[in-house]
Amino acid sequence: MLNEGGRTQALSTDFPWVTANHGYSYLDNGATTQKHHAVIDRITAFLSAEYATVHRGVYRHSMAATEACEQVRHAFQTFINAPHAHEVIFTTGTTMGLNTAAFGMANQLKSGDEIVLTEMEHHANWVPWQQVAQRTGAVIKVVPITPVGELDYEWMATHLTERTAVVSVMHVSNVLGTINDIPRIVAMARQVGAKVVVDGAQAIAHIPVDVQALGVDAYVVSGHKMYGPTGVGVLWGKTDWLSTLSPFVYGGDMIETVTVTGSTFCGLPGRLEGGTPPIAEIVGLGPAIGFLQGVGWPRIMAHDEALRLEATTRLKGLDGISIYGESSTKTGVISFGVAGVHPHDVGSILDECQVAVRVGHHCAQPLMTVLGVPATVRASFGVYNSSQDIDRLVAGLEQVMAVFR
Amino acid sequence: MSRLEQLYQQLILDHHKAPHHFGEADPVTHDAVGNNPLCGDMYRVTLTVVDDRLIQVKFSGTGCAISKASGSLMAVALTGLTVAEALALKNRFLEFLNADGDPDGLGKLAALGGVRQFPARVKCATLVWRAFEAAIESGGHPVSTE
């Protein structure tokens, strides 16, 4: 049972880090997740006996490694219900995916064109577009958030224009936990002919993602936030949109022919995958996808919600805690402040109390400015967390208050 | 004392709650900003240096208990020293934090030694000192008497 006597149990105990650190509560899943044993085992086996380069070799190991990577491409295609496997572009992570999208679109942007971002974006979805705007003369428009931490869709409805070329928005906020209404944004963008790029880093391990149902043009994720390896991610894009992008990384693997005077580039997905890819990491992503599919979204979402609701209720029961982000549609991400105590001090004391949280601006300084705080404390849940982790968090916060009484 | 008690000694908590020399020097002859981009902590250190002596040492800004207490203790310790004496004390303090050095001659600053067991927090204790160093290195600017 997920929930016995009002207590939420872990969904999986197959995480070696969690076993090795018994008695310690890892609540920094928004930053990165621990690795499922199947991921570790697959990478170890692959590097131990199967490793070779991909795409180029005529020998058996290279062909098998290529096949292993392509299998993961197909697995990811199924995972997000993408129409075609060639639309799944392997990257090194969300930051690389968003840079590929932004700089890839730069040649289509003209002075005065609008790039629409939101106040809650992660720096990975701010800085590439800012750079592209500076180089093209495009203008950045920023969608405000409401007091509960949701996007102001009314504002959006009246501020997208014929000049809006792209809306780039996160699916789930890494600070507020808010799940944004992507289909609603897509409907507005379509009316003005704008493309929609979605930063799915915080969504991919928490809610089902069906890129066709969402209707977006691009969806970007990291492997390491979905119980898979670091150094690998996916940029999915519609074939028509991907085909308009200039490559972001030029070099080996992405070319058709190279002469001393010029080069021609290969088709999708290779055109956007310059250089030797993170082969072992791509292979290791496969079991992470399989793990999430095996557990299933109904259980993952019920577990995430049970922990979020329990933690929210119990934190609100403590004096001096303010929670940032109170949308009714949230994932298991809770940002909060402790009155009179800086988040850094909270983080150090919680670590002494065997709890890992993130403290700081969460790479979302524009959002911190809107919230009027320099930093927050963030607890974010994963499949191995349970009510016991919330017990430790609450006990740790009581210790914080005892030190700073 | 537990690790936490060493980190958050009463002296640290007192200086955090009621920091000394919090504000801006008047007139300002030297100033610099110390910024920790990882956590958003930011302080401005302002000095009044007359005849090579620190007449006023002030700091302002926001940050954690450790950084604020460090600013308060620093301002108290440096006020009245010559620039050379202050830089020597700064070096001795940074050595104490980073290399497990001797607390001799550091007085109340030794209370910040608890951070040595919290490597992630050493930067909190050194932030305002780096700003002080930068203020001196900036060479200062002449004080207008108008």
Test B39 with A368 for CB contact under 8 angstroms: no
Per DSSP, the residues of B75-109 read: HHHHTT-BHHHHHHHHHHHHHHHHS----TT-GGG
Q: Are residues A277 and A340 in the same domain?
A: no
Is the domain of A280 the same as that of A304? no
Tokens of A99: 């840079």
3-state secondary structure of A21: coil
Q: With respect to residue A3, please indicate whether it lies within any of the assigned structural domains.
A: no
Residues A237 and A372 in one domain: no
- Domain boundaries, position A25: 16-30+296-404
| Burial state string for A180-216 with b = 16 or more CB within 10 A and e = fewer than 16 | bebeebbebbeeeebbbbbbbbbbbbbbbbebeebbb
CB burial of A102-124 (b: ≥16 within 10 Å; e: otherwise) equals bbbbbeebeeebbbbbbbbbbbb
Q: Which residues of B touch A404 (CB under 8 A)?
A: 8, 13, 65
A22 and A47 assigned to the same domain: no
Mutate which of A348, A365, A376, A378 to test chain B, going by most B C-beta atoms within 10 A? A348
Cβ neighbours around A299 below 10 Å, total: 14
Q: Note the pLDDT of residue B146.
A: 44
Domain end among A293, A321, A346? A293
**pLDDT, averaged across chain A:** 96
Q: Any chain A CB within 8 A of the CB of B69?
A: no
What is the number of structural domains in chain A? 2
- Nearest residue to B133 via CA among B41, B50, B52, B33: B33
Quick: pLDDT tens for A61-90: 999 999 999 999 999 999 999 999 999 999
Smallest Cβ–Cβ distance between B124 and the set A344, A352, A361 belongs to A344
Q: Are A271 and A350 contained in the same domain?
A: no
Report yes or no on A1 lying in a domain. no
One domain for residues A163 and A259? yes
Instruction: Please report whether residue A5 resides in a domain.
Output: no
Question: Is the pLDDT assigned to residue A163 strictly greater than 70?
Answer: yes
A36-50, A99-113, A334-348, B131-145: least confident range: B131-145
pLDDT computed for residue A171 by the predictor:
98
B64 CB neighbours in chain A (<8 A) are: 342-345
Write the CA distances from A141 to A148, A171, A245, A331, B43, integer angstroms: 21, 18, 22, 26, 31
Any catalytic annotation for residue A363? yes
pLDDT of A152 > 50? The answer is yes
Within-domain flag for A4: no
For residue A255, the one-letter residue type is I
Question: Are A361 and A214 found together in one domain?
Answer: no
A104 falls within a domain: yes
Task: Give the DSSP H or E segment for B66.
Answer: helix B65-78
Q: Are both A203 and A109 inside the same structural domain?
A: yes
Which position among A69, A266, A353, A363 bears the catalytic label?
A363
Please check whether residue B13 touches A, CB under 8 A.
yes
Per residue in A292-321, pLDDT (tens digit) is 999 999 999 999 999 999 999 999 999 999
Same domain? For A49 and A146 the reply is yes
Looking at residue A187, which CATH number applies to its domain? 3.40.640.10
Residues in A touching B62 (Cβ below 8 Å): 342, 374
Q: Are A332 and A381 in contact (CB under 8 A)?
A: yes
At B145 the pLDDT is 45
What radius of gyration, in Å, describes the C-alpha atoms of chain A?
22
Q: Do A365 and B3 touch (CB under 8 A)?
A: no
Question: Which helix (DSSP H) or strand (DSSP E) does residue A187 occupy?
Answer: helix A182-192
A368 and A281 within one domain: no
- Asked if residue A276 has pLDDT above 70, the reply is yes
- The pLDDT confidence band at residue A1, using thresholds 50, 70 and 90, is very low
List, for residues A35-59, the tens digit of each pLDDT value. 999 999 999 999 999 999 998 888 9
Question: Nearest-CA residue of chain A relative to B66?
Answer: A345
pTM score, whole prediction? 0.93
Assess if residue A128 is contained within a domain: yes
For B110-131, the pLDDT digits (tens) are 999 999 999 889 999 999 999 9
The answer to whether the beta carbons of residues A226 and A288 sit under 8 Å apart is: yes
Asked whether the beta carbons of residue A375 and residue B121 sit closer than 8 angstroms, the reply is no
Q: Write down which residue in A255, A271, A293 finishes a domain.
A: A293
Decide if A7 is inside a domain: no
Residue A257 domain-assigned (yes or no)? yes
Please give the average per-residue pLDDT across A219-224, as a whole number: 98
Of chain A, the percentage scoring pLDDT greater than 70 comes to: 99
User: Which residues in A have their CB inside 8 Å of a CB on B?
Assistant: 341-345, 348-349, 352, 359-361, 365, 368, 374-375, 399, 403-404
Please determine, for residue A238, whether its predicted confidence score (pLDDT) is greater than 60.
Answer: yes
Both A362 and A221 in a single domain?
no
Give the pLDDT mean for A317-336.
96
B39: nearest CB among A344, A349, A399: A344
How much is the pLDDT for B113? 93
> H-helix or E-strand containing B42?
strand B41-50
The encoded tokens of residue B115 equal 């951070």
Indicate whether A255 and A304 sit together in one domain. no
Q: How confident is the model at residue B142 (pLDDT cuts 50, 70, 90)?
A: low
Query: Quick check: B119 contacting A, CB < 8 Å?
Result: no
- Domain termination site, one of A293, A316, A338: A293
A with B: how many residue pairs have Cβ under 8 Å apart? 52
A340 → chain B, closest CA residue: B17
Asked if residue A2 has pLDDT above 70, the reply is: no
CATH number at residue A316: 3.90.1150.10
SS3 B130: helix
